[in-house]
Structure 1
């Protein structure tokens, strides 16, 4: 078992034992650059508590959830140590910053607990009043069904273990390019939900380009419905997801054709096409000549 697999097992056990939702927030892009790291820890990339899922079914509330990220980053940058609090929807959690030198790369959140002492402006009554499309009775039941803040356990050892994991992830972050400057991110106006979606969708496609990519997988990664993904990707990029993926794969295959001695069948498989004839058809439709002619003419 690798270190990352052991870490996945430990976080899963910790989550199950304390009925907690564990989420790894990536403020800078380091987490998504390492395919091995992301695949091992993708279980912890989103809040999936039933209450949170229902609250975020409201589009405006989803925007407000995204707005919590720069606020969390600002707090992590200010305190540079573990802290706790309620999110805008009334869920309680602990926040453990992931820090590399002067840069806050991300954070580990632990909890997503309900509480009888939720601040009045953040409880489910306030949420339902603010987002009146949500059903009050359903919201109340879901919130009350979420695990309560455990008062009978000693949190310090748990938080120390999460701080150790944060250090480990920060060291991994040392190996990759930080794609966002945290100070710049704090000062930016709130990003539109569509921008966040597109960034995540393109990142997923890039990481899994040579594998079979389903729209359901992209939707799960981005925490949106498949219909939202299909509609808004086409709107933002100007083509559907399949066409975009095929174009990227053809671009990668062109490099193999010109710089390697691999057969066309091997290249087709390497870049993610399961069928050689389909690869040839797509290549010809995009470039006007088949792969063999492209190699002969431009090598």
Structure 2
């Protein structure tokens, strides 16, 4: 297995995933946090209850909470399915394993609820047998009040929510791994690419070809026809349409639902140039057209094409064309 596929934060877009996590927590009325295989959080704690915030603020009790999370995740990985259990506070929690090719990467930890029918709790395992005198650390009345404030639901509903999150996580991680494997050539075009072809994800290479020589156009066309564009297509489409805007690397990575570091690496490998040069190359191509066919002032062309000022535009133009915009215009007359 590739080393990068062992890094959960690498194969998913953490920022986008956090938004999904928040939405699921709101929809299910359950607390959720995602951790890597070491138990280190890669997201914040969505909808964490006041009781759990209170308990985790006490070092000795927080240590037991961490043990519960660790054991819950490992047990879910062993079972390869959602694992619902009771934490040391008697609260219903669950762990959703995240694995790639049988390798445990981390888990989605959720729950922090009370079960409507107390008798149903008898079927749940208490994840830790460590005994703690809770009242030694927490005021009895305050504990009772916080416990009563926990969301209440049927165990069947807890199971349904855990199953839903399990399926969502499998889909998100599976799609991310598929994209990485496709871009690295680890799986064939036939086995993984056809599903995307059915969704009409091919790129219009004629519109996106920006190089100035026949040789460059041919090379660029080959790149645009490659399987990497399954991933990069949303960004390439956006840049083609909005190249005059201020386009950031972070926003384009988010649009493709991959991490910024992976987007940058994949973009350079696929296009053969870095992100900023690619955008500037498109702008300069348009600038050449305007300089050859109009008498629009150079300053206006620079601003219209998204450059901060004419000085930077002139610098970039000379880098690509070997001459200044004014000389290029004069030579074209």
State the TM-score bracket (shorter-chain normalisation). Answer: 0.3 to 0.5
Q: Which of structures 1 and 2 has the larger relative contact order (alpha carbons within 8 angstroms, sep 6+)?
A: 1
Name the larger-Rg structure.
2
TM-score w.r.t. the length of structure 1 is 0.43
